[in-house]
Amino acid sequence: MPLGASRLAFLAKTAAAAGGRTASTIGVFGDAQVDTARSVFGGASLLLDGTGDYLTADPGNTGDFIFAGGDPFTFEFWFNYDNDTGSASANLLSNKDTGSNDVTNFFILFRNFDTKLQVYCTSSFSIAAATGAITADTWNHVALVRNSSNNLGFFLNGSRQQYNSSITGAVGKTGEEKIGIGALTAGDIPFNQGGNGWIDEVRVSSVARYDPTLTSLTVPTSSFANDDDTLLLLHMDGSDTSTTFEDDTA
């Protein structure tokens, strides 16, 4: 039997898995698509129109997105919005599905009402207006970082906005391991309601990529490369209007 493209892709994934990792499965919903009009790196980003568009990352390895107390992590990405036309909150990155909050949830929300970010990471780190106002049509680097001493920092464009020295709770739990990008994992509160929004270069890591005890970090100036500590890596690159997104960790 000749090896077709799908068979070759399967073999490539299998080989990657044999090396220790299987990439997350990326779910694409609504009109979520690659857009070459705006990007931080790679000439393209994820475009979301706020009406049902979002991605989900379903981990290829059980426990990828579960962090017990004392486990370090870094969630980071860039986002951009074109105007402020509504008043709702919109999810940028979260592990919440729907319904009531779980103590293992984390959220990074954009609030159209006052154009600020809102962050929640376990019930002990909940800040409604976690940043100053964010200007439209600009790229913003966001990082939520915990180290192995349970110091947790929330950074915007290199400046620490919030900090707690004792966030000991687990983040993520078995059976609810998806991450929603641009909406909650079940599609609620999509980004950017009332206008377009873009997200680029999403990375989840099993280490503290930055020191949360410091008041600033150096914002990366090039796209991320996969390494042993990378759990999810979405470059959001491709041809304009493409709906194919791949996790670059395998």
Q: Which stretch binds other proteins (CB under 8 A): 32-40, 51-59, 107-115, 197-205?
A: 107-115
Q: Is 138 in the site for other proteins (CB under 8 A)?
A: no
Q: Is 101 in the site for other proteins (CB under 8 A)?
A: yes
CA distance 20 to 22: 7
Q: How buried is residue 97: exposed, middle or buried, by Cβ count under 10 Å (0-12/13-18/19+)? A: middle
CA distance 24 to 178: 9
Q: Is 114 in the site for other proteins (CB under 8 A)?
A: yes
Interface with other proteins (CB under 8 A), residue total 23
CA distance 108 to 119: 5
Q: Is 132 in the site for other proteins (CB under 8 A)?
A: yes
Backbone dihedral angles phi then psi of residue 184, each to the nearest 5 degrees: -65, 165
Order across the sheet with 89-94: list the strands. 25-29, 54-58, 179-181, 89-94, 106-111, 116-121, 126-127
CB of 61 to other proteins, least distance (A): 29
Nearest to 45 by CA among 139, 170, 158: 139
Q: Which stretch binds other proteins (CB under 8 A): 22-30, 127-135, 225-233, 242-250?
A: 127-135
Q: Which stretch binds other proteins (CB under 8 A): 36-44, 68-76, 125-133, 217-225?
A: 125-133
Interface residue with other proteins, options 38, 111, 146, 203 (CB under 8 A): 111
Backbone dihedral angles phi then psi of residue 220, each to the nearest 5 degrees: -60, 145
Q: Which stretch binds other proteins (CB under 8 A): 61-69, 119-127, 139-147, 198-206?
A: 119-127
Interface residue with other proteins, options 21, 38, 116, 178 (CB under 8 A): 116
CA distance 23 to 29: 19
Q: Is 99 in the site for other proteins (CB under 8 A)?
A: yes
**Residue 71 CA to chain centroid, in angstroms?**
18
Tokens of 104: 């293992």
Q: Is 95 in the site for other proteins (CB under 8 A)?
A: no
State how beta strands 89-94 and 179-181 pair: antiparallel
Q: Is 120 in the site for other proteins (CB under 8 A)?
A: yes
- x/- mask, other proteins, residues 163-202, rule CB under 8 A, reads --------------------------x---x---------
Backbone dihedral angles phi then psi of residue 13, each to the nearest 5 degrees: -65, -40
Q: Residue written as tokens 């979405």?
A: 234
Q: Is 10 in the site for other proteins (CB under 8 A)?
A: no
Residues of the shown chain interacting with other proteins in the complex, contacts defined by CB under 8 A: 86-89, 99-101, 109, 111-116, 120, 123, 126, 128-129, 132-133, 189, 193
